[in-house]
Amino acid sequence: MQPTRVLTGITTSGTPHLGNYVGAIRPALASSRAPGTESFYFLADYHALVKCQEPARVQRSTLEIAAAWLACGLEPDRVWFYRQSDIPEIPELTWLLTCVAGKGLLNRAHAYKAAVDRNRETGEDDDAGISAGLFMYPVLMAADILLFNAHKVPVGRDQVQHIEMARDFAQRFNHLYGGPAGKGYFTLPEAVIEEQVATLPGLDGRKMSKSYDNTIALFAPPETLRKLVYSIVTDSREPGQAKDADSSSVFQLYGAFAGAGETAAMRQAFSDGIAWGDAKQALFERIDAEVAPLRERYEALVARPAVIEAQLRDGAQRLRDRYATPLLRELREVVGLRDLGRAPQPAAAATAKADKAPTPAFKQYREADGRFHFKLVRGERVLLHGAGFESARDAGQRIAALRRDGYAGPDARLVPGEGVGADEVAAALAALAAAAAEKAAGKAGPA
Ligand code: TRP
């Protein structure tokens, strides 16, 4: 059986903290040991450039994050471990995907939209200070994922939209260019959201995050670790007064590092009125017990960066030989970046004559209430219903936007048909786009 490919990218723009360890590193390494998985871990240093333009910091962060994952038990012989910028096929694929990606879909990416909204609030031009890198971020991320045909991508909630976009680009590419036995070139990846993985509170009680500046560095020296733990915000209850475990960051952090028995005992100690100082001391000791051996390995690794450099390069080289280089060779062929000496071949999709499914169509109509509606249908099946537009023009514009930008999920005016998922709609829109492209290329009929 083909193993499940699980792929995770880590942006190299910060220092690993306890939240990264509990929320990402520890669970990822545990699941990489599950049988039947092929795991890919990479340092997303191209992505780091979008946010961070301090070269020394990008370099340092890449070293620290690589050393942290290795120190925590990543085995480069059993999983793929590499650096994004060592794989030139990633930017190459990014361009191929850029050419099928709907600009309108990218306009709706959360991070880009949030930046535009901030500009509007302050009365700036929409795109003031926004780089094309921020705008293209989702396409680069799609290339990371699609290059290795990952099945599963464990991510936080904020990244789910990016995985959906990767599916959309993959689908458009597959439809435009067909693929072996009509199956397409790219696997459609799925986001895996680890619900049960704790998000750790930081020093101030909000989620531990670099952007809140409330983190505890994973490999801080013990004295610093102790000071940071003692600086966690608590309420002002005195020793002997009962304390509420569930609303306490100290307790939540403790639970992330202690076993069930110890955690239950700590809960009891809270209701018995443990002093904050004692609770924090116990927390410090518990974290340090788990982290100390890792810290020792981490320090040894960071002291020998050339070893890590060699490991990363080796991982990238093997990965390119095995997957990236052959796939890009094929994709270049597929899109027409070809040896000029050979006879021209149409796209597989054009010859295979789009799989049996009927060509989808938009149908516009007017109801008795005088409003304008449309449907996206494929054969007998109604995929989407666009409801209640003021004018035929409004309805037409909405259809044009769907064709151009793709489907971003239901909204007040757009209702999916019975049992119709976003993928089915995306596939239909991709088929429409492919049919339109074929027509535009003047392939009116078979020669
Ligand atoms: N954007 C991801 C983040 O900020 C990092 C990332 C880059 C990534 N490429 C990826 C994650 C591919 C998963 C798959 O967390």
Question: Does 182 lie in the same domain as 145?
Answer: yes
Is 139 within 8 Å of 106 (Cβ atoms)? yes
Question: Does 107 lie in the same domain as 97?
Answer: yes
Do the domain assignments include residue 78? yes
User: How many Å lie between the centroid of ligand 1 and the Cα of residue 44?
Assistant: 7
Query: Which pLDDT band, with edges at 50, 70 and 90, does 348 fall under?
Result: low
Residue (of 16, 13, 21, 1) closest to 84 by Cα position: 13
User: How many Å lie between the centroid of ligand 1 and the Cα of residue 153?
Assistant: 9
Residue (of 316, 27, 325, 319) closest to 152 by Cα position: 27
Do the domain assignments include residue 326? yes
Find the mean pLDDT for residues 242-268.
Answer: 96
Do the domain assignments include residue 208? no
pLDDT of residue 393: 93
pLDDT of residue 156: 85
Find the mean pLDDT for residues 32-56.
Answer: 95
Question: Does 179 lie in the same domain as 83?
Answer: yes
Number of domains in the chain: 3
Atom of ligand 1 nearest to the CA of 137: 1
Element (H, E) at 415: strand 414-416
User: How many Å lie between the centroid of ligand 1 and the Cα of residue 180?
Assistant: 29
Q: Which of 84, 90, 148, 159 most suits a substitution to test ligand 1, by most atoms within 8 Å of the C-beta?
A: 159
Residue 350 has pLDDT above 60, yes or no: no
User: How many Å lie between the centroid of ligand 1 and the Cα of residue 141?
Assistant: 6
pLDDT of residue 283: 98
Q: Is 377 helix (H, G, I), strand (E, B) or coil?
A: strand
Residue 273 has pLDDT above 90, yes or no: yes
Distance of CA 68 to the CA centre of its chain: 21
Within 10 Å of residue 168's Cβ, how many Cβ atoms?
A: 27
- List, chain by chain if needed, residues with CB within 6 Å of any ligand 1 atom: 7-9, 11, 44, 47, 141, 144-145, 153, 155, 159
Range of the domain at 402: 353-440
Do the domain assignments include residue 184? yes
pLDDT of residue 354: 47
- For residue 148, how many C-alpha atoms fall within 13 Å in the half-sphere facing its CB? 31
CA dist 135 and 165 (Å) reads 13
Find the mean pLDDT for residues 306-320.
Answer: 98
Is 45 within 8 Å of 70 (Cβ atoms)? no
Residue 69, both tokens? 């994952």
User: How many Å lie between the centroid of ligand 1 and the Cα of residue 158?
Assistant: 10
Residue 441 has pLDDT above 70, yes or no: no
Residue 445 has pLDDT above 50, yes or no: no
Is 217 within 8 Å of 201 (Cβ atoms)? no
Question: Does 261 lie in the same domain as 177?
Answer: no
Atom of ligand 1 nearest to the CA of 10: 5
Question: Does 320 lie in the same domain as 402?
Answer: no
User: How many Å lie between the centroid of ligand 1 and the Cα of residue 159?
Assistant: 7
CA dihedral 126, 129, 49, 110 (to 10 degrees): -20
For the entire predicted model, the pTM comes to 0.81
Question: Does 112 lie in the same domain as 11?
Answer: yes
What is the longest distance spanned by two Cα atoms in the chain?
Answer: 89
Residue nearest to atom 6 of ligand 1 (CA): 9
Looking up residue 177, the CATH number of its domain turns out to be 3.40.50.620
DSSP H helical segments within 23-87, as ranges? Answer: 26-32, 45-51, 55-71
pLDDT digits (tens, 9 = 90+) for 87-125: 999 999 999 999 999 999 999 999 999 999 999 999 999
Exposed, middle or buried: residue 210 (CB in 10 Å: 0-12, 13-18, 19+)? middle
Do the domain assignments include residue 269? yes
CA dist 231 and 244 (Å) reads 18
User: How many Å lie between the centroid of ligand 1 and the Cα of residue 411?
Assistant: 27
Residue 276 has pLDDT above 60, yes or no: yes
Question: Does 64 lie in the same domain as 147?
Answer: yes
Question: Which residues lie below 8 Å from residue 337, measured CB to CB, with a gap of 6+?
Answer: none
Looking up residue 229, the CATH number of its domain turns out to be 1.10.240.10
| 48, amino acid identity | A
Going by the DSSP 8-state scheme, the letter that residue 324 receives in this structure is I
CA dist 55 and 247 (Å) reads 40
Residue nearest to atom 8 of ligand 1 (CA): 9
Question: Does 229 lie in the same domain as 163?
Answer: no
Do the domain assignments include residue 211? no
Query: Which pLDDT band, with edges at 50, 70 and 90, does 447 fall under?
Result: very low
Do the domain assignments include residue 346? no
Is 167 within 8 Å of 423 (Cβ atoms)? yes
Question: Does 312 lie in the same domain as 235?
Answer: no
pLDDT of residue 345: 74
CA dist 49 and 62 (Å) reads 12
Residue 409 has pLDDT above 90, yes or no: no
| 444, amino acid identity | A
Q: Which of 47, 94, 145 most suits a substitution to test ligand 1, by most atoms within 8 Å of the C-beta?
A: 47
- Bridge partners for 416 per DSSP: 384
Q: Which of 6, 7, 10, 25 most suits a substitution to test ligand 1, by most atoms within 8 Å of the C-beta?
A: 10
Find the mean pLDDT for residues 424-429.
Answer: 90
Residue 160, both tokens? 């789910």
Residue nearest to atom 11 of ligand 1 (CA): 9
Residue 248 has pLDDT above 60, yes or no: yes
Classify the phi-psi angles of 227: left when phi > 0, otherwise alpha if psi is within -120 to 50, otherwise beta: alpha
pLDDT of residue 291: 98
pLDDT of residue 237: 95
Question: Does 27 lie in the same domain as 148?
Answer: yes
Question: Does 92 lie in the same domain as 188?
Answer: yes
User: How many Å lie between the centroid of ligand 1 and the Cα of residue 389?
Assistant: 38
Question: Does 361 lie in the same domain as 268?
Answer: no
Do the domain assignments include residue 348? no
Question: Among 302, 318, 345, where does a domain finish?
Answer: 302
